[in-house]
Amino acid sequence: MPASPGTTTANHAAAIERDSRWVSLRDCDAGADGRFWYAVASTGVYCRPSCPSRRPRPENVAFFASCADAACAGYRPCLRCRPEATDRLRYGFGGSALGGVLVARSDAGVCAILLGDEADALTTDLARRFPRAQLQRDDASMRDIADAVAGLIEAPTRDPGLPLDIRGSAFQRRVWSALRAIPSGATASYADIAARIGAPTAVRAVAGACAANPLAVVVPCHRAVKSDGSLSGYRWGVERKRALLRREATAA
């Protein structure tokens, strides 16, 4: 049970709220899936951080490093988020005007588009982003998606119509939604984006969400710039960011 002998409920709740994992639980952060699991004493179930069920009271929460640990403590898996299940992601490589592209998809849709020239480094990045997933390389079945991404880079105003499986915290998804609302050929400052999502003081957090974006080009974090219009860091290189913006400005 969450509270150990001699620990008051209030103390336990305060300790849970100080734990960084509570923030991931509170925000339904899919990026934390596979890093820990939480159990709820009042329901007797354990869940993954991204579980969409109603947020539990902190005094009822316990954290576990594995499903097995939660089960050994007497909890059963949540039927809604299926914490014991493991994602199977298919991924493949393609080429583009900006170099190599790794694309990955789940049953729900495309969950990663990563840019770079080193296949091993891109695969390592994919594994880091989805630590609980079983990765299966399948270049043939992913070719159409890779070609669609390459086509989007060539013709930025064309919507590839890809089904997306966008995973992240509630805050990250708000930022990424705001990025997708920026028209091709336009840019917005991090401060502008923060204001648009109703969090004007969260400029650094907006920049962090842009850096964490797993869907290059489709979620256009390259359109986020400094307040003076200059280019700042880009997860896949500032030169790629400059090239993407140049293409979009020409096509607009």
Contact indicator for 150, 216 with CB cutoff of 8 Å: no
CB-CB neighbours of 44 under 10 Å = 10
Closest CA to 221 of 251, 249, 193: 193
Domains belonging to the chain, first-starting first, are 9-77 (3.40.10.10), 88-154 (3.30.160.70), 170-251 (1.10.10.10)
Label residue 111 by pLDDT band (50, 70, 90): very high
pLDDT by residue (tens digit) across 30-70? 888 888 999 999 999 999 998 988 999 999 999 999 888 99
Residues known to be catalytic: 47, 221
pLDDT by residue (tens digit) across 160-209? 889 999 988 889 999 999 999 999 999 999 999 999 999 999 999 999 99
Report the distance separating Cα 47 and Cα 169, nearest Å.
16
DSSP letter for 33, please: B
Structure tokens at 198: 């109703």
pLDDT by residue (tens digit) across 11-37? 999 999 999 999 999 998 888 888 899
- Residue 82, pLDDT above cutoff 90: no
* Cα→Cα distances 199→25, 187, 210, 225, 247, Å: 20, 19, 15, 17, 30
Question: What's this model's pTM, rounded to 2 decimal places?
Answer: 0.75
Report the distance separating Cα 39 and Cα 74, nearest Å.
10
